[in-house]
Amino acid sequence: MNQVIKKNFEIDKTKAKRLRSMGISGLFLQINKKNEQSSSKTPQNIDNLNIKEVKNIVQECQSCELHKTRNMSVFGEGNENAQIMFIGEAPGKDEDMTGQPFIGRAGQLLDRIIQAMKMKREDIYICNAVKCRPENNRKPTVDEVKSCSSFLDFQIKKVNPKIIICLGLVAAEYILGENDKLKNLRGKFYQRYGAKILITYHPAALLRDPSKKKLVWEDMQIVMKEVGIDV
Ligand code: SF4
């Protein structure tokens, strides 16, 4: 065992002890064993854990290169029984510093969109396709999204929303399994994960191009009608 692996293994033993007290030793030891072989493994068998337990795993996750530059991972938050789930792209600088999703300028705009839909943050669940910030806010790679996908899949299964709103193409491409321009994908429902999927622009795109706000509002009205909110 070289010195770096040995050091990681010693750190992991401490983490494993802490997680054992939460009853998730088997899973964590399995992850450690994988990490000794490769840094690009995705945790498996998390379906039987609860959201808090998986959030703890995400905080320690080293399954892709993004862990090297993150300050904090950003798991996601909100109503675990929400009818509507928003999925963005990746944490930004403010989110990386606090561990909370959508709190920067784009997040504040999303709050205003949610309010315009006659809802509050507490009514919805919100997370990102990848849980760690890519440096300089670059777009996460397909491999990074794939490495993180078991966490997103877990969140969708646990929350079991009626409607999933994908904010931007990163989330849309993973959830739909299709590549196309956003303008071609938006404005209608798709069926995936036992939910209705709607694709719309990321709030950061609205900050760059406010003319897109009208299109997002049209998309949100489709969602409001579907959940029975007067438009
Ligand atoms: S982005 Fe996801 S897979 Fe990569 S290190 Fe962070 S939590 Fe793990």
Task: Give 213 Cα–ligand 1 centroid separation in angstroms.
Answer: 31
Residue pLDDT, tens place only, 172-230 = 999 999 999 999 999 999 999 999 999 999 999 999 999 999 999 999 999 999 999 99
Q: Taking CA 50 as the corner, what is the angle to CA 167 and CA 62, rounded to the nearest 5 degrees? A: 65
pLDDT of residue 45: 85
Using the atom order of ligand 1, give the atom closest to the CA of residue 58: 7
- Domains for the chain: give ranges and CATH numbers: 3-68 (no CATH), 77-226 (3.40.470.10)
Rounded distance, CA 72 to CA 120, Å? 25
Structure tokens at 195: 């939910």
Residues β-bridged to residue 199: 166
Is 45 or 219 the better-scoring residue by pLDDT? 219
What average pLDDT does this structure show over 128-148? 97
pLDDT of residue 29: 37
What average pLDDT does this structure show over 61-77? 97
Going across the sheet that includes 125-128, the strands are: 77-78, 125-128, 84-88, 163-167, 195-200, 189-192
Q: Average pLDDT of the chain?
A: 87
pLDDT of residue 44: 58
Q: Is the pLDDT of residue 50 over 80?
A: yes
Residue pLDDT, tens place only, 6-41 = 333 334 444 544 444 444 444 443 444 344 333 334
User: Is the Cβ atom of 128 under 6 angstroms away from ligand 1?
Assistant: no
DSSP H helices in the chain:
3-20, 25-37, 51-60, 93-98, 105-116, 142-159, 169-176, 182-185, 203-208, 213-226
Q: Select from 31, 67, 69 the residue to mutate for testing ligand 1; criterion: most ligand atoms less than 8 Å from CB.
A: 67
pLDDT of residue 25: 42
Q: Model pTM?
A: 0.83
Q: Is the pLDDT of residue 92 over 80?
A: yes
User: Is the Cβ atom of 41 under 6 angstroms away from ligand 1?
Assistant: no
